Structures are given as C-alpha cells and as structure tokens.
Amino acid sequence: MSVNDTFNCFYQEKELKTKACNDAKQIADLFGAAPYDKSYECQPIPGSDDFRLQVGPDVAHEIFIRFANAPRQTPLVVVDGVPTEVNGPYRNLVDPAGVAPGNLFDANSGIPDGDGGVLEQRDWVLAVNRKKNGGTIKSDLAGFKFPCDCKKGSPEICTEPDFLEDPFDPVGTKPNVHHVVPRKDKRCCPWGTNSYKNAAVISQKLNKCLSNDDPPEDEVKILHKVPAYSP
C-alpha cells in the first residue's frame, strides 16, 4: 500500500488507516506546514479504498493515502558491484505457464510422474538433480558456510554438505527446492518467482537460514558456477 508517491512509503493493507495515517501526520511537520490539531483522523474517500488526511488549517493542505500495490522490489542481486539476474542451475528446464512473483514451486511441470499424473515443479527439479548425480541428490550450494543458528555473528558455523538425504540427519539434510530470490521481500510483498532459473536444491537446514532474506552475493556466485542441468 502506498502513501503519496513523493514519499515512497509502503504499508500492508491492515496498516492503511492506522500506521500509514499516523506516519502521514509527520510528513506535514517535515515540509513545514502550519501547526494543526494532531487529533485529526484520516477520512475515507467515497467510491474508493483511499483515504485523505488534512494536515493544516487550510483544507488544501492534505495528504492522500492510496490503496494500491507497492512496486516489486528488484529481483537483481548485486554481484561485484553489478546488479545481476539470477540464472540458477535449472535455467534450461522449460517454465510452466503462470510463472509469477510469490509463487511456490508447485505448478504443473507437464512431466508425467509414471502413475498417470504429472510432477509438480519441485518434484521435477529433484528428479533432474537425482538423475544427473547417479541416484543421489547433490546440494547446489555444497560447501556454503552459514551460522548454524541462522543468526549473523554466531560463532558456530555450519557447512552445506555435498550430498543430501543423510540418514544420520534426515531432517536437516532433507532436500528443499529453494527460491534464490525469496518469494516474499521484507515488506511481505511478492518478490521471487517460481521460474526454474530462480531454483536451487539445498538442505532444509540451509533453506531455513536463507529464506526471507536478501540473497547473499556468495550464494549467487556459487550458483552461477554450477553447470546447468538438462532434462
């Protein structure tokens, strides 16, 4: 949700008449409007989901809070100072219809599952990985180092294993199909898509640490070095 585009502020829908309106009162102070009663409230604009807020004794001093989709955060990742598109190791797989920001890897892949049905995207990715690696599943981020408790600055560092499905750690090494650019950004807005080029196979433990955070530059560098998988 957006307040006057000049200020480029965005809120979740539930915050529209609460936090957005309260913050809008501060905008008047910033541009030096005449002192005005701080008890004023946002008023709905008839025929829309928008609000207006008078911020000065002159009715012309008003701010509009508009109900609209916030612009998508750029999916480009800065690598060596250059905004770079993610092209992961599954980029040669054919995307299904309906690829869009915020989608899970659960769309119909169009690939038969052998039982009369079709594979979801994530199952197709795992099958391609397993076939390439002789019946085992290899992590696309093998050797990647990360805090074991997912907290920056933690002294205990874990290393992503080469191969997943370790019987001694079946939960932590469960193969996950990871969104390199996360599905949601920190505003909870749709961000990363379910395009195969945005997919990587990693352990569940690492996926937990990387989810819903900006993609680390090192992650993208490693993935761009992984040879592309083919069906």
- pLDDT single digits (tens) 123-160: 999 999 999 999 999 999 999 999 999 988 888 999 99
Specify the DSSP element, H or E, that contains 224.
helix 217-225
How far apart are the C-alpha atoms of 90 and 201, rounded to whole Å? 9
Average pLDDT for the chain: 89
The pLDDT, as a whole number, for residue 33 is 67
Give percent above pLDDT 90 in the chain. 62
Give percent above pLDDT 70 in the chain. 93
The pLDDT, as a whole number, for residue 5 is 43
The pLDDT, as a whole number, for residue 212 is 75
Task: Mark residue 114 as left, alpha or beta (left: phi above 0; alpha: psi -120 to 50; beta: remaining).
Answer: left
What are the pLDDT digits (tens) for 15-68? Answer: 777 788 888 877 777 766 666 676 778 888 999 888 888 877 777 778 888 888
Q: Which residue has the higher pLDDT, 197 or 37?
A: 197
Residue 185 is which amino acid?
D
The pLDDT, as a whole number, for residue 88 is 97
Residue 88: name the closest of 202, 211, 204, 210 by CA: 202
| pLDDT-based confidence at residue 7 (cuts at 50, 70, 90) | low
The pLDDT, as a whole number, for residue 34 is 67
The pLDDT, as a whole number, for residue 70 is 79
**pTM, two decimal places:** 0.79
